[in-house]
A and B are shown apart, each in its own frame.
Chain A
Amino acid sequence: MTQSVALFVTCLVDMMRPRIGFAAIRALEAAGCDVVVPQGQTCCGQPALNSGDRAHAIALAKQTIAALEPCPAIVVPSGSCAGTIRCHYPELFEGDADWLPRAQAVAAKTYEIMAYLDEVLGWKPDGVRLDATATYHDSCSGLRELGVKAQPRRLLAQVQGLSLTPLAGEETCCGFGGTFCVKYPAISNAIVGEKADAIAATGADLLLAGDLGCLMNMAGKLHRDGSPVRAYHAIELIAGMGDGPAIGEEP
């Protein structure tokens, strides 16, 4: 039976690294899903929500809900965007008799990509190989709002030739924090500086995570530090696209 799944691409993946979206489609299709990309989507509204701009957060949430609600399941290649839909949309519509049930219905069928592949579908990558050592950073929203922790590691364990080296402080925030990193650049830099040092200390070839915002922050710092560590979204490796250009590499 084919499971129909909607991909919520996220605004960051759309603009900065489309490969992540295509990797998500590839993995979902390998798992037997029929993937659609609803065209009414743009951004989930998290920047407005976290900035206190409730009116715009609600407007974008309504647009996203309307675009996604016809689909039986919604999959997102980002823990923080999935967390916004799953955890914060229902909060936004508290007391709204029309929109609360719609927000709750969409929230209940929205999943982070790796949690969906591993937990809902019970799928494992098959015949994927990449000879490398990698370390994994647990992005905060995915980890604490959605419980994404074991799922990416179980999927990555199926990638032949890949060995995972634990990252000291793997659950410690990288200092991205959405607009935080540009509002308080010096503090953010101090945090990501320590993260980059911890990543370098693992001796791993690759840095993996499940959120592009965090990855861009860490990869951008590693690059500025002159580190050779290459960064990918974990779904790229899981989908067999780990041999392509890393973040910040020309195709």
Chain B
Amino acid sequence: MSAFDTRAAAALADPILKTAVERTAGTAEAKRTLAVSAFPDFGAARTRAAAIKDHVIAHLGAYLEQFEANAVAAGAQVHWAATADEACRIVIDICKASGARTVARSKSMLGEEIGLPHALAQAGIDRIETDLAEHIIQLADERPSHIIWPAMHKTREQVSALFKAKHRTPHEEETIAAMAESARRELRTRMLGADVGISGANFLIADTGAVCTVTNEGNAELSLVPPRVHIVTAGIEKIVPSMGHAVHMLRMLARSATGAALTQYTTFYAGPRRAGDRDGPEQMHIVLVDNGRTKMREEGLADMLRCIRCGACMNHCVVFRQIGGHAYGGTYPGPMGAVLTPALDGLAQSRDLVHACTLNGKCQQVCPVRIPLPTLLKGWREKSWREGLEPTSMRFGLGLWAWVAQRPALYRFGAGLAVRAMRLLGRGGWIERLPLAGGWTRHRAMPKPAARTFMDQYRQERGQ
């Protein structure tokens, strides 16, 4: 068994995980369906969103330079990081330069991608995760299992037990309100005492130099405004030309992610505190991270750079719904993760991800920026085949079958033989165990084929 198979088997054997995933993804699916049906021509809106992102990705350099100039004009400092390590180093250096001992972090998948939590720990900097779900993950010492709901793999009951074990003054009443209050008590004072606030970005607005974050808890605002320093880590593909474009993308993002018309908090941060401002950080740093994105654009994955991290693809994925996010083993799970992980971590380590998909097309159907995820996964499969990463048994078996299938007369003969051999194994109309097809018959019966193939019967009947 591969490492993926082992993780998937563990996930499938966990009924609590199944319940937890189904509760959240099921609700999201139902709410998205309602939101989309209430939106006049969501298909056209998806096409426009895809066109905005395509345009930006095609002219990335120009928009990034425009963003940098406007961010600097607003008083922010812009840093460029080619790799994950470089991005972490820049963040740590800023923290050290400002004498930071504690940082408050607002949920960011890019932060996970570049390994920022680990880098902060290595540097001896205390990290407070302020998103409720990230707080849960931090208490449990786990990794996010979903890009929108990092703790979706946990049930409310598990979270309650975790809070009781880890919070200083935990809740007593078993209600959601009491649990939220417990997290608030735990987080709020620590958050307000942080030296540095670190966030990701949902969008970078080129014509204003502003950074947009969305949350439903207001934790970004509370963790980014009071500290002395605000650091943003953002992938370079997060750019949009203007506020108008950002607003269109926001409409797509919220509906696709949770089915809401808008998130509770949508904030645009343009530069640090200005003279006369009552609050805000003294410094604002924006770290623009490539980490393989330029290479993705050049090597056939430009479509993937449209992704706005809404999570709709995984919420609607039959495989994700069975195994949850951790089984994927990378930063990003689900269909978008299966496309991104080989680019980030290497195809050899993640070839299972590109195969563990039925190519049913549902993810593409719900993607707000029309990413052809099945096509991109098939592209990885081709690369895996070309590079010899596929098992020899698969290459040999498929090669033999294809060789025969290119010789129709031989193929007919072979098909006739196969049918007769299979029929010998049948009891009644079914084959309960079939050699070489244990993957099928372990879980389901195989119908016994008819005595003669279609071609055989047809030629005899029609006298051909």
Contact = CB atoms under 8 A, between A and B. Distances in A.
Interface of A: 9, 11, 13-19, 21-22, 37, 39-43, 45, 47-54, 56, 59-60, 63, 91, 140-141, 144-145, 171-173, 175-178, 180-193, 216-217, 219-221, 223-224, 245, 247-251
Top 8 nearest A-B pairs (CB, nearest first) are A177-B358, A52-B381, A220-B444, A182-B439, A52-B385, A18-B454, A173-B360, A140-B360
B411 A187 contact: no
A192 B443 contact: yes
Contact of B357 (A15, A177, A192, A217): A177
Contacts of B3: none
Contacts, number: 199
A56 B318 contact: no
Interface stretch (B144-152, B160-168, B402-410): B402-410
A173 B362 contact: yes
Contacts of A53: 385, 395, 398-399, 402
B408 to A, nearest CB: 5
14 contacts: A16-B449, A17-B450, A18-B452, A39-B455, A47-B401, A51-B394, A60-B406, A178-B359, A181-B440, A182-B439, A182-B440, A186-B443, A191-B318, A220-B445
User: In the complex, which of the residues B9, B319, B362 has the most CB atoms of chain A within 10 Å of its own CB atom?
Assistant: B319
Contacts of A17: 447, 449-450
A175 B398 CA distance: 21
A250 to B, nearest CB: 5
Contact of B454 (A14, A145, A217, A220): A14
A13 to B, nearest CB: 6
A216 B437 CA distance: 14
A180 to B, nearest CB: 5
Interface in B1-33: 5, 8-9, 12
Contacts of A188: 358, 439, 443
Contact of B405 (A54, A60, A249, A251): A60
B357 A180 contact: yes
A51 B358 contact: no
B415 interface: yes
Given A54-B385, A173-B358, A223-B430, A18 B322 contact: no
Interface string B368-398: 0000000100101111111000100011001
B158 interface: no
A223 B402 contact: no
A51 B398 contact: yes
A190 B322 contact: yes
B346 interface: no
Given A11-B405, A14-B454, A42-B408, 11 more contacts: A14-B455, A16-B450, A17-B449, A39-B455, A42-B406, A45-B402, A51-B394, A140-B359, A144-B360, A176-B358, A188-B443
Contacts of B453: 14-15, 18
Interface in B410-464: 411, 415, 418-419, 428-430, 437-440, 442-450, 452-455, 457-458, 464
Nearest to A177: B358
B172 to A, nearest CB: 38
Contacts of B359: 50, 140-141, 177-178, 180
A45 B384 CA distance: 18
A50 B444 contact: no
B323 interface: yes
A224 B418 CA distance: 23
Interface in B246-266: none
A54 B418 CA distance: 26
B60 to A, nearest CB: 25
Contacts of B437: 182
User: In the complex, which of the residues B380, B382, B395 has the most CB atoms of chain A within 10 Å of its own CB atom?
Assistant: B382
Nearest to A251: B450
A185 B443 contact: yes
Contacts of B454: 9, 13-15, 18, 21-22
Given A51-B381, A187-B322, A140 B442 contact: no
Contact of A59 (B360, B406, B428): B406
Contacts of A22: 454, 457-458
Given A220-B444, A224-B445, A248-B429, A56 B458 contact: no
Given A42-B408, A140-B360, A184 B429 contact: no
Nearest to B409: A39
B394 A144 contact: no
A145 to B, nearest CB: 7
